Structure 1
Amino acid sequence: MPRDSFAIGPVRVRAGAARDLELPITRLISGADVGLPVRVLHGREDGPVVWVNAATHGDEVVGVEVIRRLLATLKPRDMRGTLIAVPVLNVLGVMTGERYLPDRRDLNRSFPGSARGSLASRIAHLMMTEVVAKCEVGIDLHTGSDRRTNLPQVRADLDDPRTRELAAAFGAPVMLHARIRDGSLRHAAREQGATVLLYEGGEAWRFDEWAITAAVDGVRRVLEELGMVDRVEEEAPPAPSVECRASGWVRARHTGFLHLDAQLGQQVTDGDRLGSLSDSFGRTLRLVRADRTGLVVGRTEAPVVNGGDAVVHLATPEP
């Protein structure tokens, strides 16, 4: 018996087919319509329904390229289950080059949203009703923000066995047990019963190849783990993810020009030198030292910092 078609927005996608559509968001002052771009790959055989989205923040474009490359490798006639891809969730933010929406709201603090709320709330509601509500697993792709770059990592509720299983399957260098923030897509989706992984990797407004590759491979491994696509034998399977339960930022204790020595993925010990701060003539004002033992999972790329600014993100591996 053939698989039923998949309903989303005003269309139905037949089994073994892919369909692009736009879900209406708003209308610009010029009269032009703005829609949420979505591609549905509806496999021939039954299986999980999964979504993957990117650009929840308008300056985080690594995930857009991740989804483009991922979709190029998938054929719905060879798939089991259904994949909903939302490459640009914050359409207006990407168009204007801004992290937030024109109403200055953070989309990732606006879930589950409302059909009659602010612009951010309406986009969140659209995502929840047309995408998340149909899915059992989701992958939310992010990058560092505010001139920060992140080591490829999965942030998730590692106390949930199913979530932990999929986080491990992703195979990022680090999987970090992260609390759920109210108003986030991850929080709202979990409240509806979905299993959600949040990927972080790279820097805002950059196509960092190493972050893109890690995410494409990781999402593919999750689809394999779910039985949606056939497993591909990798020439060099990734090392098991380092599990971390706590993390924190080392902060500058002086204002100055920052010269960081610490590299992403580096293991450091409490007291190790991470870099230095100098004045405009190059005189060293203060050394930056690790305040704990851990793994460098994020760092600022800002050349000038003020006292109190976050400069290096350290995560503590589990014994």
Structure 2
Amino acid sequence: MTIKAVRGKRDGPTLFVSAAIHGDEINGVEIVRRLLQHRALRSLRGTLVAIPIVNVHGFLNNSRYLPDGRDLNRSFPGSPKSSLAGRVAHSFFNNVVAQCEYGIDLHTGARHRGNLPQIRADLQDERTREMAEAFGAPVLLHAKTRDGSLREVASDQNIPILLYEAGEALRFDEVAIRVGVSGIINVMRQIGMLPPSRVKKPRRQPMVTDQSYWVRARVSGVLRALVPLGAFVKKGAILAVVSDPIGDTSGDTEICAQDEGIVIGRTYLPLVYEGDALFHIAKYKADIDEVLRHYHEFREEFEPDAYDPANHDPSEYDEDPPIAS
């Protein structure tokens, strides 16, 4: 496991940023790479501990899991005498996480499943909520910790930690990457590791919720999704249609929202089976027009400009050109 520590000339907090605890969730790997090149680190106070690939075995094999078939993010705090997952979890937690005062853990959706940029955290903890609001993601989801997760053991040690979810496994998503880098820099400013930005931007109001639900397939067939990530849907709205591949429209089944909210996750597979999770919707009712306005502004800020490789002059760019989707 490769770890890079960047220490500022002046004292300050210690923050760890980790990615690829699930080896196929690779957006975070690119976020950490860009973070380590960011010019703002020249003014760093304290120590940034960057771990671009926690689950090295899974990363090399394009797999979510370790070779022993276990999920590393269900194996904490682990033990030096247990399975491979338990040993990796124990070593990572004790040698890295427990030595830090704050943490940000980077994730994506599963294979063939995309997530809207969002922060999942214990929003009832004041320090964690302040970090979450500073990050700048369009959605903040209060989420309970899961048994054996990194968030659970960090919380037990009173270490505020954010879980950033965005994009899809095994794919780079330029918007998700840009939001992640910007969000980490924002958090570092909020906890005193970086000076305030000279460019004053109005803070956008995120959608904050503690309830979400999955809409599942009622029948098997070919899925035709009708709403994208980030769409606001009302109760009863048609999200998709599951059809017979032969073309008999009399057998079409409409998939509808059970309650109003914003689509924060969806499957990209066209073939679905009865019971499959199709859309993840965060429940939300208040001030939706204001939230949608902020979301559209958010998209405009992070959407990459057109890039022409034929006319690319590296000297004109302060950062890497965008990754094409």
- TM-score using structure 1 length: 0.86
Pair 1:135 & 2:94 matched: no
Which one-letter code corresponds to 1:63 in the other structure?
G
Alignment of 1:16-35 (within 5 A): none
CA distance in 2, matches of 1:131, 1:74: 24
2:261–2:285 Cα contact (<8 Å) kept: no
2:3 match: secondary structure: strand
Does the CA contact (< 8 Å) of 1:144 and 1:200 recur in 2?
yes
Where has structure 1 moved over 6 Å in runs of 4 or more? none
Residue in structure 2 matched with residue 105 of structure 1 by the alignment: 70
Separation of aligned partners in 2, 1:276 and 1:238: 38
Query: Are 1:54 and 2:54 an aligned pair?
Result: no
Q: Which moved more, 1:70-79 or 1:112-121?
A: 70-79
Partner of 1:6: none
Please give the alpha-carbon distance, in whole angstroms, between the structure 1 residues aligned to 2:248 and 2:174: 35
More strand per residue: 1
Aligned to 2:163: 198
Aligned partner (choices 228, 248, 260) of residue 293 of structure 1: 260
Gaps of 5+ in 1: 1-35
Kept after mapping to 2: 8 A contact 1:48/1:82 = yes
Q: Residue by residue, what CA displacement relative to the aligned partner does 1:140-182 show, whole Å, maximum 9, x if unpaired? A: 0000003110000000011111111110000100000001001
Shift of 1:317: 2.5
The count of aligned residue pairs is 284
What is the CA–CA distance in structure 1 between the aligned matches of 2:198 and 2:273, rounded to whole Å?
Answer: 48
Aligned-residue sequence identity (percent) comes to 50
Deviation at 1:238, TM superposition (A): 5.4
CA shift in 2, pair 1:233/1:250, >3 Å: farther
CA distance in 2, matches of 1:165, 1:54: 22
Is the CA contact (8 Å cut-off) linking 2:32 and 2:50 kept in structure 1? yes
Deviation at 1:282, TM superposition (A): 3.2
> How many angstroms apart in 1 are the aligned matches of 2:55 and 2:93?
14
Q: Distance in 1 between matches of 2:119 and 2:233?
A: 21
CA distance in 2, matches of 1:75, 1:254: 51
Does structure 1 conserve the Cα–Cα contact (< 8 Å) formed by 2:40 and 2:194? Answer: no
Q: How does 1:302-313 map to 2 (within 5 A)?
A: 302-313=269-280
| Native 8 Å contact 1:245 1:317 kept in 2 | no
User: Which residue of 2 is the match for residue 72 of structure 1?
Assistant: 37
Q: Which amino acid aligns with 2:67?
A: P
Residue number among 212, 218, 222 corresponding to 1:257 in the alignment: 222
Q: Which letter does structure 2 place at the counterpart of 1:250?
A: V
Of 139, 151, 154 in structure 1, the residue corresponding to residue 119 of structure 2 is 154
State whether residues 27 and 171 of structure 2, in contact with CA within 8 Å, keep that contact through their aligned partners in structure 1: yes
Query: Does the C-alpha gap of structure 1 residues 318 and 179 become closer, same or farther in structure 2, counting only changes over 3 Å?
Result: farther
SS in 2 for 1:271: coil
Return 5+ residue gaps in structure 2 as ranges.
Answer: 287-325
Distance 1:297 1:280 in 2: 28
The answer for the alignment partner of 1:124 in structure 2 is 89
Cα 1:273–1:233 change in 2 (3 A) is farther
Q: CA deviation at 1:303?
A: 1.1
- Structure with greater helix percent: 2
RMSD: 1.4
